Amino acid sequence: MNEIARHLAEIGTEKTVPKNTIVITQGSSLRDVYCVVSGCIKMSRVGRNGAERVVGFKMPGDIFPDNYAFGDAEDAMFDYESLEGTRLVRLSKEQFQSVFAVNQGLRDACFQYLIRGNAGLLIQVAALKHPHATDKLMLMIYHLMVRYGTERKKGMYRINLTVSHAMLAKLVGLSRETVTIELGKLRKHGILAFGTKKLVVNKQALRDKIGEDGLAD
C-alpha cells in the first residue's frame, strides 16, 4: 500500500466502488477527503455545451479533492468517477487535518505528492496551450509519462492508465480521429508502443521529438 494510503487507512474507512461509479459530482458540497488505494479515478468537467472534458486522473496514493483537503474549497470543481473497480480510503476533512498535523511521515509524503503533481500540471498546461495537434499530444503524453509512468526497462516507460483514443481526445481537446492519426505517427517514429491496454513510451525519443532537452522529470 502506498505510504499516504497506509497512513490514512489507519483512521479512515475503506470502501470499494465498482467501475463507472461517480464518487463526487461536479458542483456538489464537499464533505470527505479520499485517497486511492488501488484502481483509478477520472477527473472531468462538463461544460455549458454538455461536452465532457477530462482533466486528469487519481492513482494509488493520490488524494482528492486536493483543493478541499489542502485548501478551503466548498464545492466540487469536477466529477470524480472510477475507471475500474477502485479501493478508496474515506475520511472527514477534520480527521485528515488532525492526522496531518501530528504525523511527520504523512506530511513528508504529501509534500512530495504535491511537488510531483505540480510538475506534471505545468507540462499539462503547456500541452493545452500549444496550437499544434502533434506537439499538443506529445506534451500530454510526456505529462502522462512523468505523472503516471513507471520505467519497465531502460528508457521505456509504461503509462499505468488504460487510456482510449477517445479519452485522450477529451484530455487534449482534439477530435478522436486526429488523436488516432497522431498516435500512428508517433508509433511509426518509434516513440510509442502499445502494450496490453497501456501506452509504452520511449522517453528519449519523445524528448528528442519535442526538442526540449530542458524538460524536467
Alpha-carbon Rg for the chain in angstroms: 18
pLDDT at site 116: 83
Question: Which cell numbers in the block locate residue 166?
Answer: 477517445
pLDDT at site 156: 94
Calculate the CA 182 to chain-centre distance: 21
105 CB-side CA count, 13 A: 7
In angstroms, the CA 31 to CA 93 distance is 7
Enumerate the β-bridge partners of residue 155.
none
Taking alpha carbons only, the member of 22, 78, 21 closest to residue 53 is 78
CB 135 within 8 A of CB 185: no
Beta strand segments in the chain, E: 13-17, 22-24, 32-38, 41-46, 52-58, 63-64, 79-82, 86-92, 149-153, 156-159, 192-194, 199-202
Q: Name the pTM for this structure.
A: 0.84
Mean per-residue pLDDT pooled into runs of 10, the chain (217 residues): 90 96 97 96 90 91 95 96 96 95 94 86 82 89 90 91 88 92 92 82 92 50
pLDDT at site 8: 95
What domains can be seen in the chain, in order of their start residue?
A: 3-102 (2.60.120.10), 111-210 (1.10.10.10)
Calculate the CA 164 to chain-centre distance: 14
Please return the burial class of 64, using the count of CB atoms within 10 Å of its CB with bins 0-12, 13-18 and 19+. buried
In angstroms, the CA 13 to CA 95 distance is 11
In angstroms, the CA 77 to CA 45 distance is 7
CB 210 within 8 A of CB 135: yes
